[in-house]
Amino acid sequence: MIPPVTVTRYVAPLREGGSLPGIVEADDLGTYVCKFRGAGQGPRVLVAEVVVSGLAEAIGVRTPRLVALELAEEIARYEADEEVQDLLRASLGTNLGVDFLPGSFGFDGTGGLPDGLAAKVLWLDAFCANVDRSWRNPNLLVWHGELWVIDHGASLYFHHGWSGGVGEPSRFAVQPWRSDDHVLLGAVSKNALEAADSEVSRLLGPELFAEVLERVPDTWLEPVPGAETPEALRAAYVEFLTARLSNRSWLPEVA
């Protein structure tokens, strides 16, 4: 599991988007961007963050370190902003912490990237069906001269349709993915994407998927019909990811 730490201070909200993440400090002396389980789309967004982060690490794409942030009622009690206080009270327990990268800045697409890195990011987004890496919202940072991918919650959207049950992995396996507004599309050649596909395909598989799912805290794996336990839900995610890996119809067309 991602390491647990305890929130010691709520610092400030990040008023971007609708989920209202916040900067917090923790008892390991770290500073984190906290993504709250009580925000709009619930804990499945946090599951996607952990899974895609793990896959990024496995294929050699940098993404910030994650922790499980334990939030106590005392932190919410002394927050003056009522909107933030309501969110904190709705998020008591385990939340997601993303390592804060001080001095980082947003990637604007104008700088050069190492050979193959843009192709790996494009491949990862296509595989995970990430709909949130456009020119309007790249979700890419530059820190110490390196590219870091962040904010993976808009990936793996198939799990938002699990209210009636897990469904069929085969549907996600062939789900098309639109790449026309992807921030890195113009930086990826056909040869680079084919090389990335060949390399990444050897690194991923059911065993790796299962290892990544083990990082997800049980409390975020809410039961659905036919998968009432955390173990059953982890197995369902592995099935969906394995099915998509066995298919290539979702790979984008590049020049």
Mean pLDDT by 10 residues, the chain (255 residues): 96 79 97 95 95 98 98 90 92 97 87 86 98 92 96 95 94 94 92 96 97 98 95 98 96 90
The token duo for 228 is 């009432």
**pTM recorded for the entire structure:** 0.95
Structure tokens, 63: 């993404």
- Where does the chain show beta strands of DSSP type E? 4-13, 22-26, 31-35, 66-71, 93-99, 105-106, 140-143, 146-149
d(C-alpha 74, C-alpha 135), whole Å: 40
Residues 58-79 as b/e (b if ≥16 CB within 10 A, e otherwise) read: bbebbbbebbbbbbeeebbeeb
Q: Look at residue 110 in the predicted model and tell me its pLDDT.
A: 64
In the prediction, which pLDDT does 209 show?
A: 98
The pLDDT of residue 76: 87
Q: Which of 56, 48, 150 is nearest to 99 (CA)?
A: 150
| Chain-centre distance for alpha carbon 31 | 19
Tell me the HSE value of 35 on the side-chain side, using a 13 A CA sphere.
Answer: 27
Here the tokens at position 195 are: 């090389």
Beta bridge partners of 99: 32
The whole-angstrom separation of Cα 159 and Cα 30 is 31
Residue type, 230: P
| Residue 128 backbone dihedrals phi, psi, to 5 degrees | -90, 0
Q: Which residues pair with 67 in a beta bridge?
A: 97
How many of the other CB atoms lie within 10 Å of CB of 153?
23
Nearest to 57 by CA among 152, 142, 169: 152
